[in-house]
Structure 1
Amino acid sequence: MTVSTEGPASVRPHDPPVPSPAPAAADAPAPRRALRSRGALLLLEAAVAFAAALVLPLLARGFKLDPLNRIAQVSGLAALQLRFALLGLVLVAAVVLAMRLRRGRHFDLAARLASAGLAGLAAGFVAAGAVVSLLGTPWPMFGLNGDSGRIVEWAHAVADGRPSGSPVYPPLPLYTLGYYAEWFHGGNTAYAFKDLQILGAAAFGPLVYLAWRLLLSPVRALAFGVVPAFALIDAYKPYSQTVLVLLVPVLVAMVVSLRRSGTEGWRPLLLKGAGFGALLGVLFLTYSGWFLWSAGGVFFAALLYFPWKTGPLKGAAFMGAALGAFLVVAGRYLAVMLTEGQTTKDYNFRFDNFTDPAYYLMWRTDMPGKVGDWPPPGEYGGVGLFALVTFVCLGAAIWLGLRKPMVVTIAAMFLSAWVMRMYIASHMYETQTVQLYTRTNNQLLYCGLILCALVAHLVSLRLAERRSAGAGGADPAAASAPRPAAGLPGREGAVIGTLCALLLLLGTVSSSMADRYMPAQDGTYRILPYVSHTIRQQDGECPRFAPKGECSKDGDQTWLTYVR
């Protein structure tokens, strides 16, 4: 199920034809035709992405270092960066070779697989950082403390057929952890959670890449979908952020399909609607909070792009199929949220609840460490350059893509989260509750970064149109010739240059996000893996690298002094 916001797939300007004509599909052998089908190519991309995501975590298991030593941590990050760079350069080299061999016949395939591979490698880098930070201890980050401890306890309960400690907590992570523990760890949900923290971080890149492939071609999905998402990758509770970065492209793709539903056949229409509904149901069962922040914007976009003139009955059928499938998958949990969720109050005031509510560009977590002035003072009325750039890009994206549902839907989701944030914060003093409104930070940042990336996307589409016009003119034969317009770079060079730039960018970002969880007793989230090294194992022994060889039942508890 692949859709595009730029017109029919056969004429998408961001997915140009192969430079040299391939043999006609009817003349190709059956296995070759199967490999060229869209579904088979997407499956191949998925296989490459997930395989690439596991390479660095597997290699990191063999590192010989003390994860609590800062020099060892830096050496480990450098070792991961070296392997990431070498593997990434192999992917780029494959694209270069494909350009040179057989007149570039396999260039598109190589670029497709390289994009998927880079998405997987980058997420694998962060997962490998988690492997390094937890070397020598079987416990997950934070052991049995805080959210980690509650998740471990609730997952053990649901695996035993008992209710969890919170009926409103998303059930799918608990059931997944419970059954995974039964299959691989003899029912030990604590030790199993360590595996799922690492595997969840590794799956982040491939999943977000495949979600954006619903809308964009491979290189563009990597550049304009995966790169913004890496500001949010998390190895502690990876499923919550993964749902956010998947929900945005899935909802946009659903709005695009709704817009086209008026002219589609009944069978594909109903299948697409049911597919979107089932997928949204799975995401809702995994983490439901993002649905609340997004609901207003998506409702507006759905009304705007509903096929009122071309086929309102088909549009209603599409939405009905989506709603029916959603209720089949997540209806029971939705009923719980609409009843018991209404009485659930969050009275826990955190660090961000005492800061300017208009600042969302960085989340310092519940344990912010040494903060200083916060938000950091900016040059323009207290606003920094990064904020100015994102606001300018938001306006530019709307200007360039006002008629494109992808741009309008993401902008509407941004505004929806902003309104919900201010509404809840404005009632904070009256109700003495916070209702997790600071979690909108992540959605606002992600949507803002996507809109910035979409400015580059839309500008490059305009350049591609100019190149096509300059190459073809009014002559159909000339229009099919792969001649770039004067002054514009060739497509192959643009793809290879983009992959090289993204290799360096993703490698740097992944290293920073991996370093965020290197264990240290410094008042930040680095305390989470540090605690894991101070908890007595179930066999009575201390973890291998426990500080001074000492450990206890609950581990280091100084983190309590960091929570504000």
Structure 2
Amino acid sequence: MPERRAAPPDGATGYPHYAPPPRRKRSSMPDVATEATEEPHLAPPGPRPATPGAPARRLPAAAEAATALAVAVGFMLWSRNIQVNPLIRVGQVSGLAVLQFRAAVLAVPLLTAVLWAAHRARGHRWQLVLRLGCAVVAGLGTGIVAGGIAVALRGTPWGLGGQDGDPGTLLGYAASFLRGEGLPDVYPPGFIVLLAEWARYLRGGHVGYALKDLQLLLSAVLGPLCYLAWRTLLRPAWALAVALPAAVLFLDPIRPYSHLVMVVLLPLIGRLLTELAHAPRMSVRTAALRGAALGAVLGLLFLCYSGWFVWSAPGVLVAVLLLVPWRQGSAALARAAGLLGAAAATAAAVGSPLLVKLAEHGADTVDRYAYFDVYIDPAYVLGWRSDRSGWPAAWAWPPPGELAGQTTFALLVLTGTGLALALGLRRPPVIAAVGCLVGAWLLRFWFAGHMERDQAVMLYPRTTWLILYALIALTVLSAMLLAGGARGAWLRLTAERRVKLPRFLGRRLAAGSLCSLAVFGAMAASWSANRYMPQGPQTDTMGIDAYRAHLLQRADGSCPSYAPGHTCAAPHPDWRPQDSRNTRLWCGNVEAKDWPTYCGGTAPFTDRPG
């Protein structure tokens, strides 16, 4: 006998455990293979039964993914033939200008086609043009940044950072792995293994050259992967509105794998919560298969960088408990348990190499390195200055705001977050973003609050990125929910007053928004690439990493083409980094005379900065 379900109180809708009546036309459950409506919004309900036309519907999705990735990688490769001297400022400006010109050559015809389709094309053709247009813009966003890095590294086979800092650590671990010395205890092994194998098979065992290849490649594809992850939840224009600014803002070309995991993880958590909300209407087999697929992807991401999982975990766990269909009976619970169990088991199996080491050595591994962001107000989460001691000056950060130190941007994202909570708290994408935000917020202040007592930083400043990412996502989701509510109100009004809704209004808004996002992406990508243009050590800005790559000899002993003064140094052998034996905080970027003020006690040096 079918189970009887109670209707939601007061006519409300959107409960994840409530099966909506057949006459309902809209739901928060996305199905990216179906483009039934013209407004970019959360897609129609699912899952849908298989039909003979299903492969044909999957073809545009495959074309969308292939287009985004091909544009990103292709543009990066095209940028490698820009003929400028990256060590002089005029050459850098010329290189940035060529990148913008080439991007415009690609984008202007595309945007023209999108605008034409918004006015003239039929529904399915318009949807295809819009999807491909958003994919191209997503690819160009980080493709321009990667192209800028290629310009900055022109003439040298070494990657950003050369053999210093974090790149030196990665090179040491990869070289150690190639020598058969195994992997580090608790450092995520995914990127190290990829770097080592890339060097083994494609770079003749030279891990320094392989690092440059992967810095360029992963920087290029970060934007498309972020966009495609959000496409599992949102329509094309809305997915791009979240992914493009996030990808360009958070892209860290020195170690792009870290932020690639972050920008993909949040929408995948939203996808998991969405599947959980609809698990009662799935078969047990379907629920288990979907859970296993998501678990495998989450396990791979965990192997590449585990911090985002730790900081998101408390809020996501609460979100999962809230979405479990506790009151729908044993059958619904069994399906939800199958989904979550398969996801957890698969993720644990794939991520087991790191999970085992964390269980064995996690308690003995303590992060004691304090850099610039450790010294600022811990409640400032709307920007990251970098760990360099150059511009802007320490006294000018955080930037002053108009209202109690808060900027207009802060007020904007906080307003957007409030609207998202008011309008979409029952929707899985909103719940996922809120869960990640709350989890990272709580753990940030927990670790920071115990920093002096435990003499441990525990990487808490990195939660800045996850918190800001969640705020950006919630702001875009609030705009989407407002647009959907306004459309619904208009439809009700027109039904009562017999006023005809402009047929192509939604199309034209989407096309215009895509043009604006494209211009924003080009400008933001140029800003990001400009930060990494080579600058001498006297400035100590982010440009020092590209500068260092021009100071190392090639494998044949010759200097890079644009080495300063045509002089360079021989690279040192890559050694396996050792875990820090410090028992107190190490204050980076702090002069010895200032050490007592910042860290207490005396510095272990007297003549150089930390």
Q: Under a length normalisation based on structure 2, what TM-score does the superposition of the two structures give? A: 0.83
Match of 1:139 in 2: 158
Matched, 1:495 2:510: yes
1:364 CA displacement: 1.2
**Equivalents in 2 of 1:349, 1:34: separation in Å?**
53
Would the aligned equivalents of 1:5 and 1:256 in 2 still touch at CA under 8 Å? no
**Equivalents in 2 of 1:489, 1:357: separation in Å?**
47
Match of 2:594 in 1: none
Match of 1:157 among 176, 180, 199: 176
Match of 2:143 in 1: 124
Match of 1:363 in 2: 384
**Equivalents in 1 of 2:259, 2:151: separation in Å?**
22
Match of 1:22 in 2: none
When structure 1 is superposed on structure 2, of 39-48 and 272-281 the one drifting more is: 39-48
1:104 CA displacement: 5.4
Match of 2:605 in 1: none
Matched, 1:393 2:416: yes
1:540 CA displacement: 1.2
Q: Deviations over 1:210-235 (max 9, x none)?
A: 10011011121111333333210121
1:539 CA displacement: 1.3
Match of 1:202 among 202, 209, 220: 220
Matched, 1:464 2:487: yes
Match of 1:225 in 2: 243
Match of 1:333 in 2: 354
Letter in 2 for 1:139: W
1:92 CA displacement: 1.4
**Equivalents in 2 of 1:100, 1:403: separation in Å?**
35
Task: Give unpaired runs (5+ residues) of structure 1.
Answer: 18-24
Would the aligned equivalents of 1:99 and 1:105 in 2 still touch at CA under 8 Å? no
Calculate the aligned-residue CA RMSD, in Å.
2.6
Distance of aligned partners of 1:394 and 1:16 in 2 relative to their CA distance in 1, 3 Å threshold: closer
Q: Deviations over 1:204-260 (max 9, x none)?
A: 011011100110111211113333332101211100000000000001110111111
Letter in 2 for 1:259: A
Distance of aligned partners of 1:387 and 1:189 in 2 relative to their CA distance in 1, 3 Å threshold: same
Match of 1:539 among 556, 563, 569: 556
Match of 1:485 in 2: 501
Would the aligned equivalents of 1:181 and 1:189 in 2 still touch at CA under 8 Å? yes
Match of 1:248 among 263, 266, 284: 266
The SS at the match of 1:434 is coil
Equivalent residues in 2 for 1:15-30, closer than 5 Å: 15=40
**Equivalents in 2 of 1:127, 1:71: separation in Å?**
20
When structure 1 is superposed on structure 2, of 87-96 and 135-144 the one drifting more is: 87-96
1:55 CA displacement: 2.7
1:309 CA displacement: 2.1
Overall identity of the aligned pairs, in %: 37
Distance of aligned partners of 1:103 and 1:424 in 2 relative to their CA distance in 1, 3 Å threshold: closer
1:553 CA displacement: 2.8
Match of 1:168 in 2: 186
The SS at the match of 2:357 is helix
Match of 1:21 in 2: none
Letter in 2 for 1:496: A
Match of 2:521 in 1: 506
Match of 2:288 in 1: 270
**Equivalents in 2 of 1:369, 1:167: separation in Å?**
33
Would the aligned equivalents of 2:247 and 2:263 in 1 still touch at CA under 8 Å? yes
Match of 1:378 among 378, 381, 401: 401
**Equivalents in 1 of 2:27, 2:147: separation in Å?**
35
Match of 1:295 in 2: 313
Match of 1:528 among 531, 545, 551: 545
| Structure with a larger share of its residues in helix | 1
Q: Deviations over 1:382-418 (max 9, x none)?
A: 2222222222222121011122221122112111111
Match of 2:56 in 1: 36
1:357 CA displacement: 0.7
Distance of aligned partners of 1:551 and 1:95 in 2 relative to their CA distance in 1, 3 Å threshold: same
Would the aligned equivalents of 1:484 and 1:490 in 2 still touch at CA under 8 Å? no
Q: Deviations over 1:420-458 (max 9, x none)?
A: 010001111111110110010110111111111112111
**Equivalents in 2 of 1:346, 1:194: separation in Å?**
27
Match of 1:405 among 428, 446, 451: 428
Match of 1:181 among 188, 191, 199: 199
Letter in 2 for 1:485: L
Letter in 1 for 2:570: K
How many residue pairs were aligned?
538
Q: Deviations over 1:34-85 (max 9, x none)?
A: 6632x32221111101111023222211111110111111111111111112
**Equivalents in 1 of 2:396, 2:120: separation in Å?**
56
Match of 2:325 in 1: 307
Task: Give unpaired runs (5+ residues) of structure 2.
Answer: 1-15, 17-25, 43-49, 573-588, 592-607
Match of 1:84 among 93, 103, 120: 103
Match of 2:567 among 547, 550, 556: 550
Match of 2:11 in 1: none
**Equivalents in 1 of 2:142, 2:200: separation in Å?**
26
Q: Deviations over 1:273-331 (max 9, x none)?
A: 00111110000001000001100010010011111123112111111111111122112
1:344 CA displacement: 0.4
Letter in 1 for 2:268: V
The SS at the match of 1:375 is coil
Q: Under a length normalisation based on structure 1, what TM-score does the superposition of the two structures give? A: 0.90
Match of 1:342 among 363, 376, 379: 363
Match of 2:22 in 1: none
Would the aligned equivalents of 2:219 and 2:253 in 1 still touch at CA under 8 Å? yes
Would the aligned equivalents of 1:397 and 1:452 in 2 still touch at CA under 8 Å? yes
Match of 1:74 in 2: 93
Matched, 1:516 2:538: no
Would the aligned equivalents of 1:277 and 1:325 in 2 still touch at CA under 8 Å? yes
